Amino acid sequence: EPEVTQTPSHQVTQMGQEVILRCVPISNHLYFYWYRQILGQKVEFLVSFYNNEISEKSEIFDDQFSVERPDGSNFTLKIRSTKLEDSAMYFCASSGGQGQPQHFGDGTRLSIL
């Protein structure tokens, strides 16, 4: 069964550094998402992406965050200057479109020191 893959599984970064989280969505999917989950808390939506542009974003997704689909297979989340409170699991998801469920990767654990 096709799946969403994320790398790295764990990223440790110093506060203030830039970090890029990578995702390979399911190959024929058109809609892409990033969510995060702080330890012990709910899964929170960050951003959705379709047709090479952001469709929707939450209040969490401020100017420190950006997303990109640099080629036909990868989807990335960049955090420009990380803060301690950015420590969380970051999940990528993809969907085939209307009425289709979103499928999630197993996440990248981001630890900011």
Partner 1 sequence: LAKTTQPISMDSYEGQEVNITCSHNNIATNDYITWYQQFPSQGPRFIIQGYKTKVTNEVASLFIPADRKSSTLSLPRVSLSDTAVYYCLVGDMDTGRRALTFGSGTRLQVQP
- Specify burial of residue 92 (Cβ count, 10 A radius: 0-12, 13-18, 19+): buried
Place of tokens 């990578």: 22
What is the smallest separation between the CB atom of 79 and partner 1, expressed in angstroms? 19
Under the binding rule (CB under 8 A), the answer on residue 11 touching partner 1 is: no
For partner 1, the binding residue among 13, 43, 64, 69 (CB under 8 A) is 43
DSSP-assigned letters across all residues of 27-43? TT--EEEEEEE-TTS-E
Under the binding rule (CB under 8 A), the answer on residue 4 touching partner 1 is: yes
For partner 1, the binding residue among 50, 64, 65, 66 (CB under 8 A) is 50
